[in-house]
Amino acid sequence: MNRNLIFAFILFATFSIINAVPHQFRKRETAFYECGTSDPLHVIVSPDPPVSEQPATYTVSSTLSNDITAGKTILEIIYDEMSDQYLDEPFIQVFTDSYKAGTPFNTTAKDVPTPKLPDSYYIVVVVGIQQAY
């Protein structure tokens, strides 16, 4: 009887641990959603999620309905606080290659500075024409 009780206890403890382990190691992944009527971008960030005050690499790809013109079209990455305040200056990278509308493109922005991140924030990734301010 004593052995059966010990076996049942060990079996119950094992099932409890096995059931709890998968929830412990779930990795948060950064999800990017399309915004407004613009063409959707596929964005991959590394490391994922970005680490506060560590550089990150962004790989952006899509097929846009407008031309990408070398030297005029930019990739802009903005860290935005939930109160619509930028956490840092936007990162801007000018495209060095041109792509016709409807042609798939792929670009990588390396060493994008990551500001000190609060608990909640947005990452905005935009492909557009550089505006003079």
Domains detected in the chain: 42-129 (2.60.40.10)
- 16 pLDDT exceeds 90? no
Predicted pLDDT at 27? 57
pLDDT per residue over 45-81, tens digit each?
Answer: 998 889 999 999 999 999 888 888 998 999 999 898 8
Cite the beta strand spans of the chain per DSSP E: 42-46, 56-63, 73-81, 91-94, 104-112, 121-129
Write b or e for each residue in 107-130: b if 16 or more Cβ atoms lie within 10 A of its Cβ, otherwise e: bebeebebeebeeeeebebebeee
pLDDT at 35 over 70: yes
What's the rounded Cα separation, in Å, for the pair 113 and 86?
Answer: 13
CB atoms within 10 A of CB 91: 19
| pTM for this predicted structure | 0.73
